[in-house]
Amino acid sequence: QVQLVESGGGLVQSGGSLRLSCAASGIIFSIYDMAWYRQAPGKQRELVARFTSGGITTYADSVKGRFTISRDSAKNTVYLQMNGLSPEDTAVYYCNAVFRVKNFWGQGTQVTVSS
């Protein structure tokens, strides 16, 4: 059974930092592309950052220079370090794992940034 379990969300003031974690089980972690998405109220889910199995990282323009995605294969975990948070970053953040046609999602973790 595949599980992606996010943690680390919460309430933070504008300018603050949070680190999200996503622990994966039931998959061969090293072959999956791992990503973080977010969905704000009334908006579509959007890609925040991706770390491919080949080591390539990509970021949404809105988070470049502020967020950093990393992965630890020994712990089957992907992280999202978020610095310089603003109220516009308020959303539910979802972990995603993709390998070919296999596509899995976590349950999401709420991030709320107060002004």
* CA 49/CA 37 separation, integer angstroms: 7
Asked if 109 and 92 count as a contact pair (C-beta separation under 8 A), the reply is yes
> Which backbone phi and psi does 31 adopt, to 5 degrees?
-95, -5
pLDDT digits (tens, 9 = 90+) for 54-103: 999 999 999 999 999 999 999 999 999 999 999 999 999 999 999 999 99
pLDDT of residue 10: 98
pLDDT tens track for 25-45? 999 999 999 999 999 999 999
